[in-house]
Structure 1
């Protein structure tokens, strides 16, 4: 991968304000020079080793271009404001650049946790390593603690200078590649659920730790189970205070609600463009292009309107976050809910338009977004989005309580 242009830096007007138009042009030029040609073809059917190598090379290219961590502080290689971050993610999506799938948790969740709650030693140990390619996974959910994360049962017992951990985690994305894990474990069984949880940095090479990939309906092994048997974690790897892990975890979860939603919205817009092209190429029973069918045109118009609405919601979220106007968190839930279900509608319609030919076994490119053009596999994978990060049911409850002022749901015995 080349680095044919200078690193992208924040651009300011004469008045000291962000010059978003100039930044957009700079990112667009960088993408034109650095997005690898033919990467989708090379990543389709790639081996695990080829995927890891490609992701490392793309991280290095983005880092050299100043675009790997625009949301980090300036002295850490970032320094871009939220609107500037949105511009960067928009242009990467529009250029159909690869996603840093393998390094997402590292650059966003781990970094946000370390910057917000980590010690100076923890930050200096891991932040430079993350930019060098250190891979992180997230050990939050458990078989009986998904949406109700506070009911987790993994236990961590303090024994001198270490915590001894026993339990099981599930849905840990790409944990088979991870060097480190953001781990939640219960350290006080008698405390109220949210007050007895602690937050740890766990070395994935620790004795007693087993990772088992979960094969999904589309044939991928994106998620993993993690089994912990007497795993020792140094007390120095505790993030925040003991039993204060729930509060720290909110910082981790909030990392999903930044300008990255702008990227997801833009990538879905790109995917919708592929859907329109598919309708133009596909023919109906009478041999005419499906895009000429009035029903198909109405369906595409409806989806186009919904995609546009998602992009506007993401832009509104960035504007509110920049101004400090939004405090309820309800807008983030609206966007997450709307995106996840719209992703299903767009990819599902792709399966419908593709017809029987689209039902054949296919492969989707690794390092791609959630919409790759392999419509059947994209549709199967889209269902992941209505579950992690809070199910659609949880999001509706948050919207009802925080935005609409509805009473909280009763706690059933």
Structure 2
């Protein structure tokens, strides 16, 4: 496989790099107030959209440019190299809508999703249905031309800032658990929706729990057919775990360079053990990069992402957690005294990487099934 840029891709990369240098918000990574950071992120989404960098691989009829997924990989890579703010995650929600939605739903929901006018979250996991998502208990009862929803969702990232939610709820409790789930497009402003941020060990309220108390959802906002929720969820997480994570590679390299500088500043590069750990961190990042490039190559050839995304998810978690652990080893007591509090927060943030999006155990089960191993 030849992963070098084509002439067209090289021209796009150069133009994009120049645009990013001019448009990355100054001081964005120094913002400490989470609400202010959310406002900055929303404005950044709008800036990218107006420049034509959002949804580039989407079909033109849904607001995209029908370009190869390679262009989005280049965007992820260049944004990471220049330490830009996080890129908006519109791909996996958008794929669910334009794959399973009605024409009316596509016209209503896709344009504001692309432009950043409407922010979205996922209502998947529950207190008793995290890794075993099919065991979810949130119930949607049909009442005339509405569904009435009651239940609770957990680990809803960005729920406190979202306008809409892709919600999974059980519509038929009398069939096998995978078959009784439906998907809904729900306004987070509906009466009966209560959002409570969850403060993690890092000190940040990155995720939320959401309560649904007699929330009425029009039947017209059910996505797909009744009972099709599990299939829709699998499409969503396939894109969530897929080659889009290549954006992590550039940010990982950026962090690795910072860790190397920390080691040099503390005179630790002469220690064989430190050099060995830094080399291992580089190898982990390179293995993940090649894995993502292989998946991306399949996407470019027309194959949709599948269960092999679980391999990238495991590699990503291992690389991120190992690198942050190495930073702790280098910084020592400074992490605990407050002299390097930023790094301690990053370490805590890395811990749930092996849980969200499907725990490591679930990813291994998926890989085992893919390989035909005995259950």
Please, what TM-score do these two structures have when normalized by structure 1? 0.85
* Conserved 8 A contact 1:266-1:311: no
SS, match of residue 182 in structure 1: strand
* Conserved 8 A contact 1:171-1:223: yes
Pairwise CA distance, 1:18: 6.8
2:92 is aligned to 109
The change in CA–CA distance for 1:249 and 1:68 in structure 2 (over 3 A counts) is same
2:73 is aligned to 86
Pairwise CA distance, 1:325: 6.3
1:126 is aligned to 109
Pairwise CA distance, 1:326: 8.0
SS, match of residue 373 in structure 2: coil
Taking the TM superposition and a 5 Å limit, the aligned residue runs for 1:396-411 are 396-403=364-371, 405-408=372-375
1:371 is aligned to none
Taking the TM superposition and a 5 Å limit, the aligned residue runs for 1:155-174 are 155-174=139-158
SS, match of residue 251 in structure 1: helix
State whether structure 2 residue 276 is matched by structure 1 residue 298. Answer: yes
The change in CA–CA distance for 1:108 and 1:326 in structure 2 (over 3 A counts) is closer
SS, match of residue 260 in structure 1: helix
How far does the alpha carbon of each residue in 1:374-407 deviate from its partner, in whole angstroms, 9 at most, with x for none?
Answer: 321111111111112211111112222313x311
The change in CA–CA distance for 1:110 and 1:324 in structure 2 (over 3 A counts) is closer
Cα separation, 2, equivalents of 1:132 and 1:386: 28
* Conserved 8 A contact 1:183-1:202: yes
Taking the TM superposition and a 5 Å limit, the aligned residue runs for 1:18-29 are 19-29=8-18
2:353 is aligned to 385
What root-mean-square deviation, in Å, do the aligned CA atoms of Structure 1 and Structure 2 show?
1.9
SS, match of residue 160 in structure 2: helix
Taking the TM superposition and a 5 Å limit, the aligned residue runs for 1:130-169 are 130=113, 131-169=115-153
Pairwise CA distance, 1:360: 3.3
Taking the TM superposition and a 5 Å limit, the aligned residue runs for 1:172-191 are 172-191=156-175
In structure 1, list runs of 5 or more residues that go unmatched. Answer: 1-12, 283-288, 365-373, 409-413
SS, match of residue 396 in structure 1: helix
2:287 to 293, 306, 309: 309
How far does the alpha carbon of each residue in 1:53-103 deviate from its partner, in whole angstroms, 9 at most, with x for none?
Answer: 211221121112211222322341332202222112111111110004xx4
SS, match of residue 175 in structure 1: coil
In structure 2, list runs of 5 or more residues that go unmatched. Answer: none
- The number of residue pairs the alignment matches comes to 369
* Conserved 8 A contact 2:238-2:305: no
Pairwise CA distance, 1:47: 4.5
State whether structure 2 residue 274 is matched by structure 1 residue 321. Answer: no
How far does the alpha carbon of each residue in 1:155-184 deviate from its partner, in whole angstroms, 9 at most, with x for none?
Answer: 111110100011111110111111111111
SS, match of residue 177 in structure 1: coil
1:52 is aligned to 38
1:360 is aligned to 337
2:22 to 33, 47, 68: 33
Pairwise CA distance, 1:300: 0.8
Pairwise CA distance, 1:191: 0.6
Taking the TM superposition and a 5 Å limit, the aligned residue runs for 1:171-250 are 171-250=155-234
* Conserved 8 A contact 1:175-1:223: yes
* Conserved 8 A contact 2:252-2:320: yes
Pairwise CA distance, 1:203: 1.1
The change in CA–CA distance for 1:82 and 1:375 in structure 2 (over 3 A counts) is same
The change in CA–CA distance for 1:394 and 1:362 in structure 2 (over 3 A counts) is farther
Cα separation, 2, equivalents of 1:47 and 1:224: 14
The change in CA–CA distance for 1:325 and 1:39 in structure 2 (over 3 A counts) is closer
State whether structure 2 residue 50 is matched by structure 1 residue 64. Answer: yes
1:280 is aligned to 264
* Conserved 8 A contact 1:82-1:259: no
Cα separation, 2, equivalents of 1:18 and 1:322: 16
Cα separation, 2, equivalents of 1:24 and 1:362: 38
SS, match of residue 228 in structure 1: strand
